[in-house]
Amino acid sequence: MYYSTEVEQVLRDGEKDMGDYAAEIANLQSRILSIQGKKDRLEAHLRAYASLVAPIRRVPDEILGEIFEYYCSSPCALYLNGTGNGPLIVSAVCSHWRSIVHSTPSLWSRISLRLGPESAPRSILQLFLDRSKEVPLELVVD
């Protein structure tokens, strides 16, 4: 009997220890997730700061505008989903570039419309018309 009672106690103690270990593992996993989240936020923060000292940041806005003009020198083909080349792509890079693109009406003055089932929505066309302001339009219709 003594042997049986001792074995039962070892089993009870072992089960309790297993529960304690499971709880400790769950606690550590929760801490790992929390620390991983903090690490991810710090990495994003550091990437944002690193972009502030990137060489492209030293290029004056006027030069960037000229580069964008060159890139957008052919008419921007407008498709159903509003994508294409030109100012829509450049303005999606970062808020600084978006600001330059939005304040440069000539970038929005070249439009190539594709008529048919994949025509651009009127809202995209209106966007180009609004942003081109008083600049003469170059319109190509396919």
- DSSP assignment string, the chain: -HHHHHHHHHHHHHHHHHHHHHHHHHHHHHHHHHHHHHHHHHHHHHHHHHHHTSGGGGS-HHHHHHHHHHHT-SPEEE-TTS--STHHHHTTS-HHHHHHHHT-GGGGSEEEE--STTPPPHHHHHHHHHHHTTSPPEEEE-
Same domain, 38 and 78: no
Same domain, 131 and 90: yes
Same domain, 15 and 80: no
Same domain, 33 and 66: no
- Owning domain of residue 135: 59-141
Number of domains composing the chain: 2
Same domain, 68 and 130: yes
Same domain, 11 and 73: no
pLDDT tens track of the chain, all 142 residues?
A: 567 889 999 999 999 999 999 999 999 999 999 999 999 999 999 998 998 899 998 999 999 999 999 888 876 666 544 556 689 889 999 999 999 999 999 988 888 777 766 666 777 778 888 999 999 988 877 7
Q: Render pLDDT for 40-69 as a digit per residue (tens, 0 to 9).
A: 999 999 998 998 899 998 999 999 999 999
Same domain, 115 and 134: yes
Same domain, 9 and 38: yes
Same domain, 97 and 65: yes
